[in-house]
């Protein structure tokens, strides 16, 4: 069946991020007439942002271990991750001419390391499949009507430039400049992190009008806020803290962090986002136990620190005996004062567990991802909203959280394929799904 056939099924995809584009590709391959609506001037902006320092597509660990990285992980999400797994993501990228490789940490990247070549090849494929992409259209609502026994969804849009309706030619039926009629729709509008690239969370108000429960959107994989002293900030902002082990609520994550004017950011900080949120909500603050030398035991450190020379300054002592760099020494002083205990055993304990007080997480405008979203109780097993039949939801709009490391894009891709297949089944209940 050719794309654009009158019986193919008209499906709108709202949101031109990676989830929306993969949903559109999946639907077009199944023979549907597909139009993508994006409020920004171009699609894929957050995808490009994610690839600035190397596009981490997924993670190479076994699917069972990968699924355990998500919270919550209800059956539909688990099933979607298993059905469209890391191997499927790698095969998809390679089909677009972007070979992938596994890094030392198990993360998967395209050989080019960048998002731009992959996005360009992807857009060429979508064009070849007949997918229409309409930009500068902000979704404002949905309703439904039945005429001659045929149920249709009406989607409403405005132009973000003017705040008024704006007509345009699309690949789906229209009843005017601000209304589009479709048989099904896939919502892939993202969470609320980095709103300047389009994911601003405004969709929560639209779904709220239909009494759809949405878990409040909160920052995830975000910097931790710390009340540094002015002296520490001026000297060390932008300086990396290498090879840390950070523990929160009994869970330890290793990696590098960077001192910012507002606090700390980096993999071992991002990974603790949910625990930091929970502690701050409960106690008004969270405590990070920072191990500055995770490869040495307290005993071995203590032995090294015994060898202190007469009149040796604390900074020189810790640098020479414990191998700490200036920023690590300054962090100790920032936490316990300018004159820390010089007892070797006490200092060894401190180096292994610096208690850093965190006041919260950086806001959504700088968070890598969003926690919260459409509650799973609102969805059926095909990612369709029970209160809005024919409307499917994918990606970061859903209530799941995961660390960085390829897990964010993986779940976005997996749920996009699942929602697209659900939309196809809704439009063509008498047909099977064969990609």
Tell me the three state secondary structure of residue 80: helix
Burial 278-301 (b: 16+ CB within 10 A, else e): ebbeeeeebebbbbbbeebebeeb
Residues 356 and 334 occupy one common structural domain? yes
Residue 314: band (very low, low, confident or very high) from pLDDT cuts 50, 70, 90: confident
Average confidence (pLDDT) over 405-416: 97
Residue 146: band (very low, low, confident or very high) from pLDDT cuts 50, 70, 90: confident
Residue 148: band (very low, low, confident or very high) from pLDDT cuts 50, 70, 90: low
Average pLDDT, the chain: 91
pLDDT digits (tens, 9 = 90+) for 65-103: 999 999 999 999 999 999 999 999 999 999 999 999 999
Residue 307: band (very low, low, confident or very high) from pLDDT cuts 50, 70, 90: confident
Residues 19 and 95 occupy one common structural domain? yes
pLDDT at residue 245 is higher than 90: yes
User: Rounded to whole angstroms, how far apart are CA atoms 192 and 374?
Assistant: 13
- Which of 30-44, 146-160, 191-205, 417-431 is predicted with the least confidence, judged by mean pLDDT? 146-160
Within a domain: residue 434?
no
Residues 246 and 189 occupy one common structural domain? no
How many other C-beta atoms can be found within 10 angstroms of the C-beta atom of residue 114?
A: 17
Tell me the three state secondary structure of residue 324: coil
CATH number of the domain that residue 129 is part of: 3.50.50.60
Separate counts of helices (H) and strands (E) for the chain: 15, 21
> Which one of 316, 336, 361 terminates a domain?
361
- The answer to whether residues 280 and 359 touch, using CB atoms and an 8 Å cutoff, is yes
Residues 242 and 380 occupy one common structural domain? no
- Residue 315, pLDDT score: 87
Range of the domain at 288: 224-361
pLDDT at residue 264 is higher than 70: yes
- Residue 170, pLDDT score: 47
Signed CA dihedral, 149, 388, 184, 181: sign only: positive
- Residue 174, pLDDT score: 42
Within a domain: residue 353?
yes
Structural domain count of the chain: 2
Within a domain: residue 283?
yes
- Which of 176-190, 283-297, 371-385 is predicted with the least confidence, judged by mean pLDDT? 176-190
- Residue 355, pLDDT score: 97
Residues 40 and 79 occupy one common structural domain? yes
pLDDT at residue 122 is higher than 90: yes
Residues 122 and 198 occupy one common structural domain? yes
Average confidence (pLDDT) over 104-124: 95
Q: Which pTM was predicted?
A: 0.90
Average confidence (pLDDT) over 213-226: 96
Write the DSSP string, 14-63: E--SHHHHHHHHHHHHTT-EEEEEESSSSS-HHHHHHTTT----EE-S-H
Between residues 423 and 433, the one the model is more confident about? 423
Residues 201 and 99 occupy one common structural domain? yes
Within a domain: residue 5?
no
Cα–Cα nearest to 24, from 143, 126, 125: 126
Residues 181 and 290 occupy one common structural domain? no
Residues 231 and 193 occupy one common structural domain? no
- Residue 340, pLDDT score: 80
- Residue 434, pLDDT score: 65
pLDDT at residue 419 is higher than 90: yes
Average confidence (pLDDT) over 374-393: 97
pLDDT at residue 243 is higher than 70: yes
- The answer to whether residues 415 and 383 touch, using CB atoms and an 8 Å cutoff, is yes
Residues 275 and 409 occupy one common structural domain? no
Within a domain: residue 2?
no
pLDDT at residue 162 is higher than 90: no
- Residue 309, pLDDT score: 78
* Structure-block tokens of residue 304: 């090294």
Residues 134 and 230 occupy one common structural domain? no
pLDDT at residue 3 is higher than 70: no
> Which one of 314, 329, 361 terminates a domain?
361
Average confidence (pLDDT) over 298-317: 87
* Structure-block tokens of residue 366: 């700088």
User: Rounded to whole angstroms, how far apart are CA atoms 54 and 41?
Assistant: 24
> Which one of 323, 340, 361 terminates a domain?
361
Residues 41 and 160 occupy one common structural domain? yes
Residue 32: band (very low, low, confident or very high) from pLDDT cuts 50, 70, 90: very high
């Amino acid at each position: 069946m050719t794309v654009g056939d009158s019986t193919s099924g008209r499906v709108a995809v709202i949101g031109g991020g990676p989830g929306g584009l993969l949903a559109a590709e999946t639907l077009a391959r199944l023979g549907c007439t597909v139009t993508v609506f994006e409020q920004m001037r171009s699609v894929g902006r957050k995808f490009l942002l994610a690839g600035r320092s190397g596009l981490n597509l997924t993670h190479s660990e076994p699917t069972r271990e990968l699924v355990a990285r998500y919270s919550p992980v209800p059956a539909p999400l688990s099933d979607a991750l298993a059905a469209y797994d890391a191997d499927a993501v790698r095969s998809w990228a390679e089909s677009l001419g972007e070979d992938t490789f596994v890094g030392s940490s198990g993360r998967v990247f395209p050989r080019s390391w960048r998002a731009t070549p992959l996005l360009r090849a992807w857009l060429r494929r979508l064009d070849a499949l007949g997918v229409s992409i309409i930009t500068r259209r902000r979704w404002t609502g949905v309703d439904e009507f039945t005429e001659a026994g045929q149920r249709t969804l009406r989607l409403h849009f405005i132009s973000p430039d003017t705040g008024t309706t704006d007509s345009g030619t699309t690949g789906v039926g229209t009843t005017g400049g601000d209304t589009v009629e479709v048989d099904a729709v896939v919502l892939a509008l993202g969470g609320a992190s980095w709103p300047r690239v389009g994911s601003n969370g405004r969709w929560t108000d639209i779904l709220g009008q239909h009494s759809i429960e949405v878990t409040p959107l909160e920052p995830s994989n975000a910097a931790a806020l710390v009340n540094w002293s002015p002296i520490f900030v001026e000297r060390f902002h932008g300086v990396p803290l290498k090879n840390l082990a950070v523990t929160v609520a009994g869970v330890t994550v290793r990696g590098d962090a960077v001192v910012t004017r507002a606090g700390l950011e980096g993999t071992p900080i991002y990974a603790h986002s949910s625990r930091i949120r929970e502690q701050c909500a409960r106690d008004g603050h969270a405590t990070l136990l920072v191990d500055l030398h995770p490869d040495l035991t307290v005993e071995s450190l203590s032995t090294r620190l015994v060898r202190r020379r007469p009149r040796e300054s604390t900074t020189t002592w810790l640098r020479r005996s414990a191998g700490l760099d200036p920023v690590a020494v300054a962090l100790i002083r920032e936490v316990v004062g300018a004159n820390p205990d010089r007892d070797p055993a006490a200092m060894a304990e401190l180096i292994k567990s610096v208690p850093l007080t965190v006041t919260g997480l950086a806001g959504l405008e700088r968070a890598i991802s969003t926690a919260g979203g459409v509650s799973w109780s609102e969805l059926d097993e095909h990612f369709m909203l029970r209160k809005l039949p024919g409307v499917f939801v994918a990606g970061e709009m859903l209530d799941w959280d995961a660390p960085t490391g390829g897990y964010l894009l993986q779940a976005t891709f997996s749920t996009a394929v699942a929602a697209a297949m659900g939309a196809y089944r809704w439009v063509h209940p008498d047909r099977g799904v064969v990609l």
